[in-house]
Chain A
Amino acid sequence: MATSLQRSVTTLDGQDGTPLAVGVRNLRRAFGDHTVIENLDLDVPTGQFVALLGASGCGKSTLLRILADLDTEFSGDVRVASRRAVAFQAPRLLPWKRVWRNVVLGLPGRPDKTHAVAALEEVGLAHRANAWPKTLSGGEAQRASLARALVRDPELMLLDEPFGALDALTRIKAQSLVEQLWQRHNPAILLVTHDVEESLLLADRVLIMKDGVIAHSVDVTLPRPRNVSDPQFVALRAELLTWLGVGDGDGVGDDPHQATPAAGRIPPQDAQESLPKRTIHS
């Protein structure tokens, strides 16, 4: 389906020589007279977890849709990893296919159940492999959608507010699951979100999108798992909120997740054995 993308490009290196999973130059996208993205440049090195923050309507989802090859009405130079997977805010599982068939949908060859179950195992959903999607809870459906992305062994994962529709408790679990999966498989991740705290908990680099361009970039070098009450975390949070034009800098009380206790975050279960030493790209 990727007709608009340049297939000929095999690799692309960033400034520091790291191969890129995403390389965008001079991107422009307009809906009629309304320009959403103007002259946008973006590099995402392989293995980096990037969060894209912005107010609603700033074009962050449009950018993700362009990278997912769902929106082709753009101009500019867009190069993305050929093996990429998308998880949306709604799980978007086919209701007429059992969970495991949804997971392996679109893979070449005959649907392989063991392959699907292995991916579902990773998101803790193997016991629901034979269920109909409509019988899953919101969190389970979202995890199934993550398994569907994961089973493709992507070099780039595009996550479009995947935790947006989840309740607060489920969201915390889902966030740490994504962090865990990223540490284990190490794809590049572009996470579109409007939640400042979420971006700081998960990402290596937080980008703020404003007026159709990347207005600000913050490298987050805090050790993982991160703690929302860490003074450095609080300072970064205030910085980002100021860039977003919210609050006067102290930031307390204008994010519903402020109250989330740091101790409530579930650390990766097998962080010790599977956590690779990560170098933070900058």
Chain B
Amino acid sequence: MTTQILSVEESATVHAPDPVVSAEPYASAEAIPARHTPTLVTVIPSTSRRRGVPRWIRRPVGPLLLLLLWQIASWSGSTSTELLASPWTVVTTFGDLVSSGDLPKAIAVSLRRAGTGLLLGGSIGIFLALVAGLFRLGEDLIDASVQMIRTVPFVGLIPLFIIWFGIGETPKIGLVAFGVAFPLYLNTYAGIRNVDSSLVEAARTVGLSRLGLIRHVILPGALPNVLVGFRYALGIAWLALIFAEQVNANRGIGQLLNDAQEFQRTDIIVVCLVVYAFLGLTVDAFVRLLERVLLSWRPAFSGA
């Protein structure tokens, strides 16, 4: 390809502008190409444009550099280890917490709470969205109430939940469920209402019944939105869990955090935060996998 362009470039320079001809540009047919010599640029195919270092190596460089800076700051004493433990201390503390079994146990408890809350709140949210999205009567009865309740910050419900459910597992699961129900409701409802009406018409002309229409057209059409709602819901589930576990919890990551705060163990706090971050990432990766399987019909825009 490159050689081709070069040869064009050569031939172009052969037809260098002739001063006599260019003075009278429209005099003859031969005069026109000689008038102006374009400057040729070589267009490089994107395959050879890529730099040598692959992307999966380049991407972690930024975070690793940050970690290194943090470690250097701790060593040099410019940040007090009382206020923020060094990365290395965090790593050793992580090792200790894992070998003592405290951390795995806490993670298991927290995961179960998040999972149960998600399942409960998610089913309620999606069920309400189906009723409101598919039936005019359902919309009239449900939508206004849900829109009203969703403006209540769920953290504000903690005192009420403690009065209602005590300090056991129920208020924690309840808070997660309350938090996740709304993003799932809103997105599922919007997904159902935004299904392409031309597809619904086409499905009607092939004789689909109302039930068939819901099953073959409306629900699959709403699925991309449901999955977006699911991702929001997962983020909120972790948030709700942190709040819930810091109130009267005797197990779970939140309780570990609370104890660490009392003993000023910044290393444990950082370990817990990192664990939250990794759990969040793992779950998000799971949803993305789910999207890839369920929405395989969609030619995805993978980013320019």
User: Could you tell me which A residues sit within 8 Å of B by CB distance?
Assistant: 1, 68-70, 85-86, 88, 90, 92-97, 105-107, 132-135, 148, 152
Once A95-B297, A96-B220, A97-B216 are accepted as A-B contacts, the answer to whether A152 and B206 lie under 8 Å apart by CB is yes
A158 to B, closest residue via Cβ: B205
B150 at interface, CB cutoff 8 A: no
In angstroms, Cα B220 to Cα A92, docked, is: 15
B201, B217, B296: most-surrounded residue (chain A CB, <10 A): B201
Contact B201 A105, beta carbon cutoff 8 Å: no
Contact A94 B198, beta carbon cutoff 8 Å: no
Contact A105 B216, beta carbon cutoff 8 Å: yes
| Chain A neighbourhood of B212, CB < 8 A | 106
In angstroms, Cα B199 to Cα A94, docked, is: 7
Contact A148 B206, beta carbon cutoff 8 Å: yes
In the complex, which of the residues A86, A93, A95 contacts B205, with contact meaning CB atoms closer than 8 Å? A86
8 cross-chain pairs, A with B, having the tightest CB-CB distances, nearest first: A106-B206, A92-B202, A86-B205, A96-B220, A106-B207, A106-B208, A96-B297, A132-B297
B228 to chain A, nearest CB (A): 16
B276 to chain A, nearest CB (A): 35
Contact B205 A68, beta carbon cutoff 8 Å: yes
Once A70-B201, A90-B198, A132-B297 are accepted as A-B contacts, the answer to whether A105 and B206 lie under 8 Å apart by CB is yes
B210 to A, closest residue via Cβ: A1
| Chain B neighbourhood of A68, CB < 8 A | 205
B205, B209, B297: most-surrounded residue (chain A CB, <10 A): B205
State which size class the interface on B falls in.
20 to 34
Contact A92 B297, beta carbon cutoff 8 Å: no
B226 to chain A, nearest CB (A): 13
Where chain B touches its partner, the secondary structure class is: helix
Contact B220 A134, beta carbon cutoff 8 Å: no
In angstroms, Cα B204 to Cα A149, docked, is: 12
| Chain B neighbourhood of A85, CB < 8 A | 205-206
Once A94-B220, A105-B216, A135-B299 are accepted as A-B contacts, the answer to whether A70 and B203 lie under 8 Å apart by CB is no
A171 to chain B, nearest CB (A): 21
Contact A86 B202, beta carbon cutoff 8 Å: yes
User: Could you tell me which B residues sit within 8 Å of A by CB distance?
Assistant: 198-199, 201-209, 212, 216-217, 220-221, 223, 295-299
| Chain B neighbourhood of A132, CB < 8 A | 296-297, 299
Contact B204 A105, beta carbon cutoff 8 Å: no
In angstroms, Cα B203 to Cα A69, docked, is: 12
A133 to B, closest residue via Cβ: B297
In the complex, which of the residues B198, B202, B221 contacts A96, with contact meaning CB atoms closer than 8 Å? B221
Contact B208 A105, beta carbon cutoff 8 Å: yes
> Mind listing 21 A-B residue pairs with CB under 8 Å?
A1-B208, A68-B205, A69-B204, A85-B205, A85-B206, A94-B199, A94-B203, A94-B217, A95-B298, A96-B223, A96-B297, A97-B216, A97-B220, A97-B297, A105-B208, A105-B216, A106-B206, A106-B207, A132-B296, A134-B299, A152-B206
In angstroms, Cα B220 to Cα A93, docked, is: 13
| Chain A neighbourhood of B201, CB < 8 A | 70, 92
In angstroms, Cα B256 to Cα A169, docked, is: 70
| Chain A neighbourhood of B221, CB < 8 A | 96
B191 to chain A, nearest CB (A): 13
A100 to chain B, nearest CB (A): 14
B219 to chain A, nearest CB (A): 10
Contact A70 B220, beta carbon cutoff 8 Å: no
A68 to B, closest residue via Cβ: B205
If A94-B199, A97-B220, A105-B206 are given as contacts, then 5 extra A-B residue pairs at C-beta distance below 8 Å, sorted by A number, are A68-B205, A92-B198, A94-B217, A96-B295, A134-B297
A85, A94, A97, A134: most-surrounded residue (chain B CB, <10 A): A94
B220 to A, closest residue via Cβ: A96
| Chain B neighbourhood of A105, CB < 8 A | 203, 206, 208, 216
| Chain A neighbourhood of B202, CB < 8 A | 86, 88, 92-94
| Chain A neighbourhood of B207, CB < 8 A | 1, 106-107, 152
B233 to chain A, nearest CB (A): 22
In angstroms, Cα B207 to Cα A106, docked, is: 5
Contact A106 B299, beta carbon cutoff 8 Å: no
